[in-house]
């Protein structure tokens, strides 16, 4: 039973990494650089969160509203 949950988590992790990669590539092409430190700085300056971070925030918010307390 628990093996099923671990495979779902692995698939979700791969999908989130794929979304993050796509966003990072977009920033690389937009600003014509391949330096990931520069990309991270630009994303921070524009207050742009990667999809994996946004989904984690939304999941935490959903769980908090559903149960009445945070996961941590």
Full domain range(s) for residue 18:
2-67
User: Is residue 23 domain-resident?
Assistant: yes
For every one of its 72 residues, what pLDDT tens digit does the chain have, with 9 covering 90 and above? 456 556 667 778 888 999 999 999 999 999 999 999 999 999 999 999 999 999 989 988 988 888 887 665
- Asked if 50 and 56 count as a contact pair (C-beta separation under 8 A), the reply is no
Domain count, the chain: 1
pLDDT score, position 39:
97
Residue 72 included in any domain: no
Is pTM beyond 0.85? Reply is no
17 assigned to some structural domain? yes
């Amino acid at each position: 039973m628990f093996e099923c949950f671990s495979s779902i988590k692995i698939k979700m992790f791969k999908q989130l990494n794929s979304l993050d990669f796509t966003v990072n590539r977009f920033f690389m092409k937009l600003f014509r650089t391949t330096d990931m430190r520069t990309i991270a700085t630009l994303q921070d300056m524009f207050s742009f969160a990667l999809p994996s971070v946004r989904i984690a925030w939304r999941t935490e918010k959903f769980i908090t509203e559903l149960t009445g307390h945070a996961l941590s």
